[in-house]
C-alpha cells in the first residue's frame, strides 16, 4: 500500500489521501466510493491540512523536532520524546504511526484543530456520505486520520446533526 509507507512522490499523495477502507467486503464498496468522491471534490485538502499543521501551535514543536531536529523548550521532555516516537513527517506533513495487533505500521494523517470540522463535514455531511452514524463515521475516519479526542468529536458532531436527529425522530414515531 503506497499510502502506508509514503513511497510515492509528494504530488502523488494528493490523489492517495483518502478515507478508503482496505477491506474488500461487498458492504465496504459504498464506503470506498463515498470516500473517493469526497477527496475528488477537495483535491487541495491534503495541502490545506499540511499548511494548517505548520500553523497549529500544539503540533508545531513536534513538526520542528521531527523535520528540523529542533528540540522544544518544554518542561516534560521525556513525554515529548515518547510522543515523537509515535509520529513521522513525510513531505512536510505529520503522520501518527499506528501499529495494529500484527505489529504492521499504518500512517494516519494528523489533523490540526482548525481542520477537524472540515474533515467531519466531508465524512458525515457530504451529499454522498448519507449521514452515517457515529460508529461508521469513526470507522472511516479512524482508518486514515488522527487527532486528539477524535472519538468524542465524532460522537458530538453526529449527535448534533439536525438531519440525523430528524431522521431518528421519524424512526421512533
- What pLDDT, on the 0 to 100 scale, is given for residue 26? 38
Map out the domains of the chain as residue ranges. Answer: 2-172
pLDDT of 170 = 52
Contacts of range 102-110, beta carbons closer than 8 Å, 24 or more positions apart: 105/4, 105/5, 106/4, 107/3, 107/4, 107/5, 107/6, 108/142, 108/144, 108/145, 108/146, 109/17, 109/46, 109/49, 109/144, 109/145, 109/146, 110/53, 110/59, 110/145, 110/146, 110/147
pLDDT value, residue 167? 65
pTM over 0.75: no
How many Cβ atoms sit within 10 Å of the Cβ of residue 145? 21
Domain 2-172 bears CATH identifier 2.102.10.10: no
Residuewise pLDDT in 10s, the chain (173 residues): 333 344 333 433 333 334 433 333 334 434 444 444 355 555 688 899 999 999 999 999 999 999 999 988 877 788 889 999 999 999 999 999 998 878 788 999 999 999 999 998 888 776 555 666 768 888 888 889 999 999 999 889 888 887 777 766 554 54
Q: In the prediction, which pLDDT does 41 show?
A: 52
Amino acid at each position: 500500500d503506497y499510502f502506508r509507507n509514503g513511497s510515492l512522490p509528494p504530488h502523488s499523495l494528493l490523489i492517495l489521501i483518502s478515507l478508503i477502507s482496505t477491506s474488500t467486503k461487498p458492504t465496504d464498496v459504498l464506503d470506498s466510493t463515498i470516500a473517493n468522491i469526497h477527496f475528488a471534490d477537495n483535491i487541495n485538502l491534503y495541502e490545506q491540512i499540511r499548511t494548517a499543521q505548520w500553523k497549529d501551535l500544539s503540533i508545531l514543536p513536534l513538526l520542528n523536532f521531527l523535520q528540523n531536529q529542533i528540540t522544544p523548550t518544554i518542561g516534560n521532555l521525556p513525554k515529548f520524546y515518547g510522543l515523537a516516537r509515535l509520529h513521522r513527517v513525510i513531505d512536510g506533513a505529520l503522520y501518527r504511526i499506528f501499529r495494529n495487533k500484527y505489529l504492521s505500521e499504518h500512517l494516519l494523517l494528523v489533523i490540526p484543530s482548525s481542520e477537524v470540522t472540515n474533515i467531519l463535514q466531508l465524512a458525515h455531511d457530504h451529499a454522498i456520505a448519507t449521514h452515517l452514524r457515529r460508529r461508521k463515521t469513526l470507522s472511516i475516519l479512524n482508518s486514515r486520520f488522527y487527532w486528539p479526542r477524535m472519538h468524542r468529536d465524532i460522537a458530538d458532531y453526529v449527535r448534533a446533526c439536525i438531519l440525523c436527529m430528524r431522521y431518528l425522530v421519524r424512526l421512533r414515531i
